[in-house]
Structure 1
Amino acid sequence: MTRSRKTTQPLVKICGLNTLTVVDAAVDAGADMIGFMFYARSRRAVTPDLAQALGEEVTGVTRVAIVVDATDAEIDAITATGVIDMIQVHGKEDPARVAELKARTGLPVMKALRVATKEDIREAEAFFGAADHLLFDAKAPKDMKGALPGGNGLTFDWTLLDGLKIDMPWMLSGGLTADNVAEAIRLTGAPGVDTSSGVEDKPGVKSPERIRAFLAAVKQTHLETAT
C-alpha cells in the first residue's frame, strides 16, 4: 500500500529506518523525511535492494540516503534504486565533494556537521552555496568506544546555536527524544529536527510507539509556540 501525507512544520526526519513497519509508523505519524542508512558499521544499515523495497512504499515524504564518505560507485548503486530524493553526507566530505555529489546525482545534498564547540558551528560557513541543507549533530568524544559518525544518542550544548544566522534550511540532531525535543526546539528555534536512536527500543530496532510519541511532541510544541 502506498502511503502519503501532508507536510507539517517544523520538519521532522526519522532516520535509520530498516523495516516496513517502522517506515509506515513514521509516515503515518507525520514525518516529513525518512532516512535510510547506507553505512555498513551501523546496526541500522540497509542495502540498496532493501531501501528500494521500503522506499517504494511511500510518497509525499522525502527519502534520504545517509552515507559516510561513500565512493562514486556506492552512490550510483544507491541512486539507481530510484527511491532516493536527497543525499545526506555524514563523513569528512568537504564542500567540493558535496558539489560533486550534487552534480553526479542531480539531487539535493544535506551536510551533517558534528558539534562540540562554537568552532564546529562556524565550519558551516564553508558549505554555504555548496550544500542545500545543513544538519547539526553531536560530536562523539574521542574515547567513546564504538562511536559512529552519528546516531550515538548524544546531545550537545544547544546554546552553541545562539545567534545562528543561516540563510538555508537546517536541522538539529543528536540524542533527541520525545522527552527533550520540545526544549530543543524552544532553545534553538530549529526549523527541523532529526532523530534515530531517540526512537529505538535498542540500537538498530526502532519503536513505532516511540516514533509516534516523538512526532506528537514536535506537533504539540509547534502548536504551543504558534499561539
Structure 2
Amino acid sequence: WPGTSRYIPPEDAAPLIRAVPSHVSTVGVFVDETPERVLEIAAQTGVSALQFHGSETPEYFDRLGSWRKIKAFKVRNDFEPAELRRYASAYAFLLDGWVAGGLPGGTGRVFDWSHAERAKAYGKIILAGGLNAKNVGEAIRKVEPWGVDVCSGVEIAPGRKTPELIREFIRAAREAEQQLVSSRLESSTPGRQKQPQS
C-alpha cells in the first residue's frame, strides 16, 4: 500500500518474490485498490496470496476468482465475529487491533483475544495486533490461531525490521506451537491402568 513506509513498488517486489523458496507463501497487501489493479500486480509480482485491509466487500472478493484471499478486520470492543461469514470466498481472516485514525494495518495495538477465539468458528484466523517475541507465545497458547502476523513487533523503526527480532519472534512462536502439540498428544494418550494388587 503506497500510503505506508513499508510499501514496496511491484517492480521492486517481483525479484524479491522470485528469490523466495517455492514452499514459502508470499502475500501482497492491498487497501481499497481496484480488482483489476490487484490482479495486474499479482500477475506482475507472482505473489501466492492477496491480503486486503480496506473496505473491500464480499462482491469485490468474488471478482478476484480463485486467488487465496485474506480479509483483514480491525477489532474493536463491539466486533461481531459473525461478520466474517459474509466473506464466503475468503481463504483466511486476519484480525488486527483498532486505532482511531490509524493506518489500515500494522497498528501495533493488542486487542481482546477472546474475539479471535470466537471468530475461529467462521474460518482460518491469523492473529495480528501488537504481537512481539514477548507475547506471541501467550497468544498462540490462548487462541490457537491458524497463523500469526507481525509487523511493528520486529521493527526498530517504521519499516525497518531486524533479523534478531524476527528470529526471536519465530523462536517464541515455534516454542508455543510445540507446547500445544505436546499437550494435545498427552491428552489424546489413554492413561495407563493400574494393575490390581495381589
Same fold flag (TM > 0.5): yes
Shift of residue 81, structure 1, vs aligned partner:
1.9
Contact 2:85 / 2:122 at 8 angstroms: preserved in 1? no
Q: Which residue of 1 aligns with 2:132?
A: 177
> Partners of 1:212 and 1:126 in 2: how far apart?
36
Q: Does 1:107 align with 2:72?
A: no
| More strand, by proportion | 1
Question: 2:30 touches 2:50 (CA, 8 Å); kept in 1?
Answer: yes
Where does residue 130 of structure 1 map in the other structure?
89
Residue 52 of structure 2 is matched in structure 1 by 89
Contact 2:116 2:127 in 1 (8 A): no
The 5-angstrom pairing of residues 59-70 of structure 1 reads 59=21, 60-70=23-33
Distance 1:219 1:80, change over 3 A: same
Counterparts of 2:42 and 2:119, CA distance in 1: 33
SS of equivalent to 1:211: helix
Does the 8 Å contact 2:116/2:125 carry over to 1?
no
Looking at structure 2, the residues matched to 85 and 212 of structure 1 have their Cα atoms a distance apart, in angstroms, of 23
Q: Does 1:74 align with 2:34?
A: no
Distance 2:11 2:86 in 1: 34
Which amino acid counterpart does residue 123 of structure 2 have in structure 1? M
Asked whether 1:222 is paired with 2:177, we answer: yes
- If the length of structure 1 is used for normalisation, what is the TM-score? 0.75
2:108 matches 1:150: no
Give the C-alpha shift of residue 72 in structure 1: 3.4
Quick one: higher RCO (CA 8 Å, sep 6+), 1 or 2? Answer: 1
In 1: Cα distance, 2:77 partner to 2:83 partner: 10
The structure whose Rg is larger is 2
Identity of aligned residues (%): 34
> Aligned pair in 2 of structure 1 residues 75, 40: CA closer, same or farther (>3 Å)?
same
Partner-residue secondary structure (3-state), 1:134:
strand
Aligned residues: 181
Which residue of structure 2 lines up, in the alignment, with residue 16 of structure 1?
none
Could you tell me which runs of 5 or more consecutive residues in structure 1 were left unpaired when the two chains were aligned: 1-38
The two structures, once aligned, show a CA RMSD in angstroms of 1.6
Tell me the alpha carbon deviations over residues 78-105 of structure 1, each in whole angstroms, 9 at most, x when there is no partner: 123242111111100011111112x2xx
- Partners of 2:98 and 2:109 in 1: how far apart? 8
Paired with 2:162 and 2:112, the residues of 1 have a C-alpha distance of: 26
1:161 partner letter: A
Cα contact 1:115–1:121 (8 A) shared by 2: no
